[in-house]
Amino acid sequence: MTEMISLESIVKTYPGSRVPALKGVSLDVRDGEFFTLLGPSGCGKTTLLRCIAGLENPDAGAIRIGGAAVFDSHRGLNTGPNKRNIGMVFQSYAIWPHMTVFENVAFPLRCRGERDLKAKVMHAMEVVGLEAFADRYSSRLSGGQQQRVALARAIVAQPDVMLLDEPLSNLDAALRGQMRVELRRLQREVGITTVLVTHDQHEALAMSDRIAVMSGGEVLEVNDPRELYERPSTIFSAQFLGNANRLQGTRAEGSHTVSTPIGVLSVDTLPATGDVACFVRPEHIELHLPSTLNGVPNSFSATVTEIRYVGEYCECDVTINGKDGAVTLRARMALSDAFQSGAACIVRLPPESIHCIPITAATL
């Protein structure tokens, strides 16, 4: 697969700020890919997206879109946003309330002077399922429908790239879930290279071909959703995605075990040397009745210290008396499980579900 967007060492510091918003970001987005920039508030996602769009000028670096250089600080090259052949959707949709749906969608084509635009506009409205609303004023649409108008307007000019900045965050939870599926379907159908900015890990995991995890103006790692969730290579990603439990570990010489504050853990894979951070996801922790699993590796006596009902399951805290004091892990409990708060239990951490990351400067 060829790359559609290529970013090389992008640096950006806003005037008056002492901390760079982007500290030399390099990445490639492949042709036809749904690529997500994921990270906490303030990590630089929007700044990077705006640099790709040409709405923000980097201090240094180079950007290529579809093989053509659109920005290069060494060559003094900077192609304007309207010449980069991109479509953008913002959090606020930015559609015009005083225009009909048709006129909103037609706007980019009118801007570039196209006259015979009806077929293209109707097609874009069809793709997002709004053909029946062509003559309706945009102010008389629901949030989800307005969002679709913004999408239709982004794709009508058949751009090389679609850039989406938190486009679903104004929608309620149910509609957001529905729009995730629709947006992904639309992106596949049209085959357009898409970059999404979000701080919502569920959104990122559900929609992306690949995800770049960002923190403090840097890209920490890029991977596909499954690999990133199950085998993150940085401690930041492991903690940011999915509330993983963390146990500090020291590798026991010559064996597949790690010494941790709750005791010795058998693990399936271990880095060659050094201290490790061991991560176990709440959904992988098993809870058993007391006096079971005698002598089974990775089982520990514990107390259920808190139970939180969250709908399809209960989230619970289990506390284990470790060698240096109590250690609390977050687990999931099926609604059919009979544990009450305060109950004794046995906690088992399956070896295959423990992911160990070596603690080095590169993995923090």
Binding stretches for ligand ATP (CB under 6 A): 14, 17, 21, 39, 41-47, 199
**Would you say 268 and 307 are in contact if contact means Cβ atoms under 8 Å apart?**
no
Q: Residue written as tokens 């010449």?
A: 83
Question: CA 44 to CA 197: how far, in whole Å?
Answer: 10
Q: How far is the CB of 91 from ligand ATP (least distance, A)?
A: 8
Q: How far is the CB of 11 from ligand ATP (least distance, A)?
A: 13
Instruction: Kindly tell me which of 217 and 242 has the beta carbon lying closer to ligand ATP.
Output: 217
Distances (CA, A) of 38 to 65, 136, 166, 219: 21, 35, 10, 9
Instruction: Kindly tell me which of 46 and 245 has the beta carbon lying closer to ligand ATP.
Output: 46
Q: How far is the CB of 45 from ligand ATP (least distance, A)?
A: 4
Q: How far is the CB of 146 from ligand ATP (least distance, A)?
A: 20
Instruction: Kindly tell me which of 197 and 343 has the beta carbon lying closer to ligand ATP.
Output: 197
Question: CA 267 to CA 256: how far, in whole Å?
Answer: 6
Instruction: Kindly tell me which of 22 and 265 has the beta carbon lying closer to ligand ATP.
Output: 22
Instruction: Kindly tell me which of 39 and 58 has the beta carbon lying closer to ligand ATP.
Output: 39
Count of all residues that appear for the chain in the document: 364
**Would you say 299 and 351 are in contact if contact means Cβ atoms under 8 Å apart?**
no
Instruction: Kindly tell me which of 14 and 309 has the beta carbon lying closer to ligand ATP.
Output: 14
Distances (CA, A) of 166 to 96, 171, 199, 342, 358: 19, 10, 8, 41, 33
Q: Residue written as tokens 């992008």?
A: 10
109 contact partners, CB below 8 Å, separation of at least 6: 117, 120, 121, 156, 157
Instruction: Kindly tell me which of 13 and 299 has the beta carbon lying closer to ligand ATP.
Output: 13
Q: How far is the CB of 67 from ligand ATP (least distance, A)?
A: 26
Question: CA 211 to CA 221: how far, in whole Å?
Answer: 8
Identify the CA nearest to 241 among candidates 216, 211, 268, 275. 211
Q: How far is the CB of 42 from ligand ATP (least distance, A)?
A: 4
DSSP 61-107: EEEEETTEEEEETTTTEE--GGGS-EEEE-TT----TTSBHHHHHHH
Q: How far is the CB of 251 from ligand ATP (least distance, A)?
A: 35
Instruction: Kindly tell me which of 90 and 279 has the beta carbon lying closer to ligand ATP.
Output: 90
Instruction: Kindly tell me which of 45 and 210 has the beta carbon lying closer to ligand ATP.
Output: 45
Q: How far is the CB of 202 from ligand ATP (least distance, A)?
A: 15
Identify the CA nearest to 343 among candidates 301, 293, 305. 305
Element (H, E) at 109: helix 101-111
63 contact partners, CB below 8 Å, separation of at least 6: 5, 6, 7, 8, 10, 51, 52, 69, 70, 71, 72
Q: How far is the CB of 89 from ligand ATP (least distance, A)?
A: 15
Helix, strand, or coil (residue 175): helix
Distances (CA, A) of 84 to 70, 74, 306, 343: 7, 19, 53, 61
